[in-house]
Amino acid sequence: MDIVGTWTGRTACLLQEAMRMTNEDFAERLGISARTITRWHSAPTMIHRTEVQQILDITYEEAKPEVKQRFALLIQPPEPRVEAQALRVAIAIVLRGDEVLLVCRRGGGTLRWQFPAGMVKPGASPETIAVQETHGETGVHCTVREHLGQRIHPATGVVAAYHLCDYLAGDATNLDPLENIDVAWVPQSALTRFIPQDQIFPPILNALEAAA
């Protein structure tokens, strides 16, 4: 690379890092005080005076090829950061009278009962996914009555959005035998026999109590 046009606190410290020197060693190499080097670290945007610019030019020019190579890598602008999108699922709590719809999932060698749910792809509506996945898994048509909120699911770590839904039509059938082993309408009063109470999102229990 070409020599640095203007040395700043940041670029001088990157040269120090490329040379793998301590503050004391770098200060001795440049013929200045170690306190000055420390000040450069705390002021990355400062522009050095002319005589310091010249000293840094000479130090860089005299550096070994491997030092210059490390410096070239260090001085490159950082890669743009790509924010990862958190995984999201839409969960449907479907009511039919005093019953709630559950599916029994396979996974990890165990069986567990839970509410119908599906992954929400970027740009998709969680409400739409909740309705579509319920029908795709169980054959039950439903409509969203109320959004109950969302949380980081304590077991899976994904963002879970919960929707209270009303039953419209259809027989509860296991339409996804690869994922589920059973589908059932469960009395609301017996829900905690299928899903431990401490694993149920509290707004769900509040909504079921209000609907009872």
- pLDDT confidence of residue 5: 83
156-181: buried (b, 16+ CB within 10 Å) or exposed (e) per residue? eebbbbbbbbebeeeebebebeeebe
**What Å distances lie between residue 207 and 68, 120, 165, 200, 201, CA to CA?**
65, 23, 11, 12, 10
- pLDDT confidence of residue 109: 63
Token pair recorded at residue 9: 């606190």
Share the mean pLDDT of the chain. 89
- pLDDT confidence of residue 31: 92
CATH class of 88-211: alpha beta
pLDDT exceeds 70 at position 48? yes
pLDDT exceeds 90 at position 175? yes
- If one counts every other C-beta atom within 10 angstroms of the C-beta of residue 127, the result is 17
Token pair recorded at residue 91: 């969960």
- pLDDT confidence of residue 64: 92
The end-to-end CA distance of the chain, in Å, is: 73
pLDDT exceeds 60 at position 6? yes
Q: Where are the domains of the chain?
A: 9-75, 88-211
Rounded to the nearest 5°, which phi and psi values hold at 200?
-90, 130
**Distance of alpha carbon 40 from alpha carbon 33, whole angstroms:** 11
Q: Report pLDDT digits (tens) over 79-138.
A: 665 555 578 999 999 999 999 999 998 766 677 899 999 999 888 999 999 999 999 999
**What Å distances lie between residue 48 and 7, 18, 19, 76, CA to CA?**
6, 19, 19, 20
**Residue 23 pLDDT class (50, 70, 90 cuts):** very high
